[in-house]
A and B are shown apart, each in its own frame.
Chain A
Amino acid sequence: MNRRDPAQEPSALLHELLDIAEAMVDAGAEVYRVEDTITRMGEAYGAERMNVLVITSSIVITMLFADGCELTQTRRIRGAGSTNFIRLERLNALSRECCAKPLPLSELQRRTDEILALRSSPLRQYIGSILGAGAFAVFFGGNLWDGLVAALFGVLICFLQQKLSSVCRNRMIFNLLGALVSGIGIMLTVSLFPALHADKIVIGDIMLLIPGLAITNSVRDIMGGDTITGIMRFIECLLWAAALAFGFMIALRLTGGLGV
């Protein structure tokens, strides 16, 4: 049996832990969860002491081994990170398994790659966007027709998210464009069918783009003592929300002449 002892190759192990930490952050894990998980895993693999610092855009891990050897690696995280809970759940389960009985490093790498290969199917995203935009339009007081039109523009927003987000890494610009395009579309549709309620439809579609939850999480990070992470996220979210508002504002202005 070719079972290698991970302690023999600490830098490869550390690299793998960084991969897992990065995958967790990308999947939408909270900062304290990532720090806690990586600390436990490192200790399970024989580290004497673990020092993990995660802020939204970077990870620093220092491991101290029993022989006095101390290693540090850092990782820069790019990308806004789309929340993917199935990955988070699998990573969580993998880490628990490792803490109970450390897997050989090659096995750990294989399992991590397997989890990273889990992608959300476009169909699922489209159905989610259609239902979400429609349901929120009705939820905020629109009628069935408002819901249907909001659902229609949910398709447009999802389409933009699928096609544009790979070339437009800046979420601020993306939100601005998305809000502008869908805002103009909604206003034009409403001018054709005056019985529709423009505000309810726009709110339904806003809910797909709004970083409301991220703002909540950031305030929570600040209250919980992860001040740097919290403030970074908070400012990011404010800019995203401002871009969203600005995009719809321009759309309202541009179409204002239509008597909407």
Chain B
Amino acid sequence: MKDIIIQLLAAFLSAFSFALLFHVRKNLVLPASFGGVLCWGIYLACCSCMEGIFYPSLITTICSTVYAEVLARILRAPAPIFFVPTIIVLVPGGSLFYAMSAAVQGDMELAAEHTWTLVLYVLALAAGASLVWALSDMIRKLIAQHRHSDADI
């Protein structure tokens, strides 16, 4: 339990630091940083009831992207402002390092294993985010069409 709290706290700080690095406006820093906690919380919850890393990452990415899109509508700001700090903790820097360090030590089997993990994370991230973006784009267009037809009448 203590570990989880430390991880969530670190996730908050990580998201917060990226909000600073990418120059997010002051009032939006907190909602963006909270996304990091949400993202990691969902990931931990998914991992406790699912095998592997692909599906937990996929579900986490979908939830995080929805969070960013919804906040963007509510706070009237471009979605990447919330998406980037929220999702940053899922970026597999660890796998990259372990793959590389295994390669240096000549353990190609281990290197390939970590590289595969890396690929899974990136694919899950990209697929999850694209899915939500495609859907939200469709919804936006449907709403616009609806308004348009109302105006015609």
State the A residues within 8 Å of B (CB). 28-30, 33, 83-89, 92, 120, 124-125, 127-132, 134-136, 138-140, 199, 202-203, 206-208, 210, 212-213, 215-216, 219-220, 223-224, 241, 244-245, 248-249, 252-253
Name the prevailing secondary structure of the B interface residues: helix
Contact A206 B129 (CB under 8 A): no
Closest B residue by C-beta to A249: B104
Could you name 5 residue pairs across A and B whose Cβ atoms are closer than 8 Å?
Answer: A120-B23, A135-B11, A140-B94, A208-B21, A245-B99
Contact B22 A28 (CB under 8 A): yes
Binding-face segment, B47-55, B77-85, B143-151:
B77-85
Q: List A contacts of B117 (CB < 8 A).
A: none
Q: Which of B100-116 contact A (CB under 8 A)?
A: 100-101, 103-104
B72 CB → nearest A CB, Å: 10
Contact A86 B23 (CB under 8 A): yes
Is B133 at the interface (CB under 8 A from chain A)? yes
B11, B22, B104 — most chain A CB neighbours (10 Å)? B22
Besides A88-B78, A88-B81, A131-B14, 14 new A-B residue pairs in contact (Cβ under 8 A), listed by A number: A85-B84, A92-B78, A128-B17, A128-B21, A135-B13, A136-B14, A203-B94, A219-B123, A220-B130, A224-B133, A224-B134, A245-B96, A249-B100, A249-B103
B150 CB → nearest A CB, Å: 20
Contact A216 B23 (CB under 8 A): no
Contact A203 B22 (CB under 8 A): no
A203 to B13 alpha-carbon distance, docked (Å): 16
Is B10 at the interface (CB under 8 A from chain A)? yes
Q: List B contacts of A86 (CB < 8 A).
A: 23-25
A3 to B14 alpha-carbon distance, docked (Å): 48
In the A-B complex, the 10 residue pairs with the closest CB atoms: A212-B91, A132-B17, A219-B126, A128-B20, A135-B13, A128-B21, A139-B10, A131-B17, A245-B100, A135-B14
Say which residue of A33, A88, A124 sits within 8 Å of B20 (CB atoms): A124
Contact B6 A253 (CB under 8 A): no
Name the prevailing secondary structure of the A interface residues: helix
Q: List B contacts of A139 (CB < 8 A).
A: 7, 10-11, 14, 89
Contact B122 A220 (CB under 8 A): no
Is B68 at the interface (CB under 8 A from chain A)? no
A207 to B18 alpha-carbon distance, docked (Å): 10
Say which residue of A120, A203, A206, A216 sits within 8 Å of B126 (CB atoms): A216
A206 to B103 alpha-carbon distance, docked (Å): 17
Say which residue of A89, A132, A241, A249 sits within 8 Å of B81 (CB atoms): A89
Closest A residue by C-beta to B6: A138
A250 CB → nearest B CB, Å: 9
A203 to B94 alpha-carbon distance, docked (Å): 6
A224 CB → nearest B CB, Å: 6
Contact B100 A85 (CB under 8 A): no
Say which residue of B7, B80, B87, B91 sits within 8 Å of A88 (CB atoms): B80
Q: List B contacts of A129 (CB < 8 A).
A: 17, 21
A220 to B97 alpha-carbon distance, docked (Å): 24
A83, A84, A249 — most chain B CB neighbours (10 Å)? A83
A140 to B127 alpha-carbon distance, docked (Å): 24
Q: Given A132-B18, A134-B13, A139-B11, verify A89-B25 contact (CB < 8 Å).
A: yes
